[in-house]
């Protein structure tokens, strides 16, 4: 069984702790955090410490903290034998100082208190040493069947793509909610459409799935919509999105 120390007490640390606790192939032997208050939710189930001098020996050290704190914490693990990984999409592997380093990046959005089926979460792994890569693959496979070797440059692009499909998409949902609220309509009206839009591309390329006025270059509908908008940012987004969609399909029209 692989032993794991988790460094961090935030959202991802909690999700990882929960899911490792439910597997048989790996065991979290300690959770390390600066804040005793935040450690409290772990301390009934596992050893915890606030002292970086008291970190246990383990096969894998998973640093699950904010991007700008990764390098500093990794420095505390320079003398450990296990592989030290971070969990960030945006940070290169070499931000870690220990020789035996790698990355363990679960590509998903984690919400406090919301259950995630980890078995489907893509886990992107990278390691400096070949045998550490093998070890990280074994560890990842205890959580998910969806394990991929992804290098630091690719992972940064993947993280960028995630910003488009997650952060920016969520902002579009927010605009939808705002439009509904102004009309006294429940945002619930849009929820089945939102879900179906996401489900559709599970089995169909987004390029193929695209519909709407911009795809058809239907200028009348586009102008009618623009007249209904009165938020400058929404108008600018409508125009830019429509231009971008038209550009993709103009050769077909």
Among 24, 51, 79, 164, binds a copy of itself (CB under 8 A): 164
Is residue 223 near a copy of itself by the rule CB under 8 A?
A: no
Among 56, 122, 137, 152, binds a copy of itself (CB under 8 A): 122
Nearer residue to a copy of itself within complex by CB, 130 or 208: 208
Q: Candidates 24-32, 47-55, 76-84, 164-172: pick the segment binding a copy of itself (CB under 8 A).
A: 164-172
CA-CA distance, 31 to 40, in Å (whole number)? 10
**Rounded least distance, CB 194 to a copy of itself, Å:** 5
Instruction: Name the one residue in this structure whose structure tokens are 């961090």.
Output: 8
Is residue 211 near a copy of itself by the rule CB under 8 A?
A: yes
End-to-end Cα spacing for the chain: 58
Is residue 40 near a copy of itself by the rule CB under 8 A?
A: no
* Residue 40, token pair as written in the block: 């409290």
Q: What does the radius of gyration of the chain's CA atoms come to, in whole angstroms?
A: 22
Site for a copy of itself in 51-90 (CB under 8 A): 67, 90
**Rounded least distance, CB 41 to a copy of itself, Å:** 21
CA-CA distance, 28 to 8, in Å (whole number)? 13
Q: Candidates 25-33, 38-46, 134-142, 151-159: pick the segment binding a copy of itself (CB under 8 A).
A: 151-159
Site for a copy of itself in 94-113 (CB under 8 A): 107-109, 111
Q: Candidates 32-40, 47-55, 69-77, 214-222: pick the segment binding a copy of itself (CB under 8 A).
A: 214-222
Instruction: Name the one residue in this structure whose structure tokens are 């939710």.
Output: 41
- Residue 44: partners with Cβ closer than 8 Å, 6 or more residues away: none
Is residue 145 near a copy of itself by the rule CB under 8 A?
A: no
- Residue 161: partners with Cβ closer than 8 Å, 6 or more residues away: none
CA-CA distance, 122 to 111, in Å (whole number)? 17
**Rounded least distance, CB 242 to a copy of itself, Å:** 9
CA-CA distance, 222 to 167, in Å (whole number)? 25
* Residue 1, token pair as written in the block: 């069984």
């Amino acid at each position: 069984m692989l032993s794991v120390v988790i460094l961090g007490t935030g959202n991802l640390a909690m999700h990882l702790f929960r899911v490792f606790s439910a597997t048989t192939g790996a065991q979290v032997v300690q959770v390390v955090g600066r804040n005793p208050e935040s450690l409290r939710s772990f301390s009934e189930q596992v050893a915890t410490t606030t002292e970086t001098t008291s970190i246990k020996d383990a096969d894998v050290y998973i640093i699950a903290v904010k991007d700008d704190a990764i390098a500093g914490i990794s420095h505390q693990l320079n003398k450990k034998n296990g592989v030290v990984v971070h969990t960030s999409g945006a940070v290169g592997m070499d931000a870690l100082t220990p020789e035996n380093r790698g990355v363990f990046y679960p590509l998903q959005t984690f919400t406090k208190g919301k259950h995630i089926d980890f078995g489907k979460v893509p886990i992107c792994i990278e390691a400096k040493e070949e045998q550490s890569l093998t070890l990280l693959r074994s560890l990842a496979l205890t959580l998910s069947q969806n394990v991929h070797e992804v290098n630091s440059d690719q992972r940064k692009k993947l993280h960028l793509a995630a910003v488009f499909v997650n952060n920016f998409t969520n902002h579009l949902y927010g605009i939808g909610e705002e439009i509904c609220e102004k009309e006294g309509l429940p945002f619930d009206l849009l929820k089945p459409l939102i879900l179906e839009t996401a489900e559709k591309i599970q089995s169909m390329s987004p390029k193929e799935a695209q519909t709407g006025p911009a795809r058809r270059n239907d200028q009348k509908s586009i102008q009618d919509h623009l007249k209904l908008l009165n938020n400058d940012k929404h108008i600018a987004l409508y125009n830019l999105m429509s231009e971008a969609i038209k550009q993709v399909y103009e050769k077909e029209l």
